[in-house]
Amino acid sequence: MCSLPSRSRIEGLNKSVWVAFTSVAADPSIVHLGQGYPDIPPPSYVKEGLAQAAVGHPTLVKLDLFKEILVTVGGHGSLFSTMQALVEEGDEVIIIEPFFDCYVPMGKMAGGETCFNTFKSSSAAASISSADWVLDQEELASKFNSKTKAIIINTPNNPIGKEFYLFIYFICIFYNN
């Protein structure tokens, strides 16, 4: 066992809800719907359509292949690399709840402090839909300050499917951090 002390930025990072889900999902009698792993391949027309859509329309896609493409080992790797590049010790990272559990550790490992903005239900009904969830724009604006270096936007927000691009764009331009 390693006797080196751990740095404070990695304390508590070994806890993840996905560890529990993964071990339970390994049971072949369980239908695994939680992590997006279907047990059947998609039809060929779906794969072909996705491949065409991923390329984009050639006349609309103008990229500088040497400056505008980043290849990573996946979503986690790209987000981790981005956080390491942008966030310094003491910077703040805003995370909109609900969110994936990897966002907080990534901000912390970059030296940042995380703060949260939660979607709120505008309905008291027993059954609510995604239309009932709202982002409190005043609350979000109050989170921004001179130390804000990143806002993690999972869009459309999973699991409620909400988007608030324009407001977030204007507040980021205003603070220009």
Q: What is the pLDDT of residues 4-20, one digit of tens each?
A: 555 676 666 666 777 77
130 domain residue, yes or no:
yes
Give the three-state DSSP class for 55: helix
3 domain residue, yes or no:
no
Mean pLDDT of 121-147: 85
1 domain residue, yes or no:
no
pLDDT of amino acid 51: 86
Higher pLDDT, 132 or 91: 91
Is 90 exceeded by the pLDDT of residue 44? Answer: yes
Q: φ and ψ at 161, to 5 degrees?
A: 65, 30
Write the CATH number for 148: 3.40.640.10
Per the structure block, which two tokens stand in for 28? Answer: 């072949």
Share of the chain above pLDDT 70, in %: 80
60 domain residue, yes or no:
yes
Say if pTM beats, i.e. exceeds, 0.75: no
Residue ranges making up the domain that contains 61: 8-175
48 domain residue, yes or no:
yes
Whose tokens are 């703060």? That residue is: 115
d(CA 52, CA 61): 13
Mean pLDDT of 40-67: 82
2 domain residue, yes or no:
no
Number of domains in the chain: 1
d(CA 71, CA 76): 12
